[in-house]
Structure 1
């Protein structure tokens, strides 16, 4: 599965209209576009694992969502339920965003400039200490966990949460 990300910051004044625009782009270019709140992403490896897990779920017929983008969001969020998965999605206001684009290489590459033009580009998917509180809260990472293995390992804990989505009830 070929994929690319577009990362950066933007301001969304009308979330519904913005999402409708993304759906129109997806349809026009025949790709899947999934937008995620970069403030809750612990690095590109976090996104890669979510893509892998969602792909395997579709291959084995164990997917919960009908849409690969939503299934990826489910894994990336560390949540079993689709409705809970949207907690890692985008919202109105100033936001750091990661657009994940999946599809055939030429189609993905063709839509990238459109997405690039929506954001002030920066590497917002990378983990940083500025994200610590939001990630701790979202993934229920306790101080006991980080005291035991060190706070620098928060991205590893997030990967563990993604890997365990199907196991934990």
Structure 2
């Protein structure tokens, strides 16, 4: 999984989402863009991708599209309309974009023998395409994401002050717990 932090200027949300899909299809990857305020950290997104893939493998996915399933898990919600709040919207948005090799893409073509390095190269190629159409810069694996907006995260993930006082867990850990709980609540 590769992560891209950027500022997006979206004039037409439907056209933007379609363009992400085209870039993803061209490179055999899934691309999902998030409003950065709702992203706790990189681990939050990695866990969402992992759980979305597991749901798809088991046939338990809600969405037909892998990018939407990733969004559902990242949001910790099963209702697509509620999860969409975490996505980008029209106008200027600080965003975090996930680019991940799509396992289904390799099953549907002659790339089943691709190595992890080749899949990562496909993801990096997709990021280069994204960088060409946005004000973006790649994040290195060891470079932390700036934490999302604390008040927004608490409100969106329904994390109360009492819950935060009752634990020494970080806000990011509590958000990741909400992502994992979605699996249990199904």
Return the TM-score normalized by structure 2: 0.79
Large movers: runs of 4+ above 4 Å: 122-125
Corresponding residue to 2:14 among 3, 10, 16: 16
Moved more, 31-40 or 113-122: 113-122
Cα 1:70–1:107 shift into 2, 3 Å: same
Q: How does 1:144-159 map to 2 (within 5 A)?
A: 144-150=162-168, 153-159=170-176
Corresponding residue to 1:134 among 152, 162, 185: 152
Corresponding residue to 1:109 among 124, 128, 135: 124
Alignment correspondent of 1:163: 180
Q: Cα offset for 1:12?
A: 1.7
**Secondary structure in 2 aligned to 1:80?**
coil
Q: Cα offset for 1:125?
A: 7.1
> How many residue pairs end up in the alignment?
165
> Does 1:143 find its partner at 2:157?
no
Alignment correspondent of 1:121: 137
Q: Cα offset for 1:137?
A: 1.1
8 Å Cα contact 1:80/1:166 also seen in 2: no
Q: Distance in 1 between matches of 2:59 and 2:131?
A: 34
Q: Distance in 2 between matches of 1:156 and 1:113?
A: 31
Q: Distance in 1 between matches of 2:120 and 2:146?
A: 27
Q: How does 1:26-105 map to 2 (within 5 A)?
A: 26-103=24-101, 104-105=119-120
Cα 1:96–1:36 shift into 2, 3 Å: same
Alignment correspondent of 2:5: 7
8 Å Cα contact 1:4/1:100 also seen in 2: yes
Q: Cα offset for 1:98?
A: 1.4
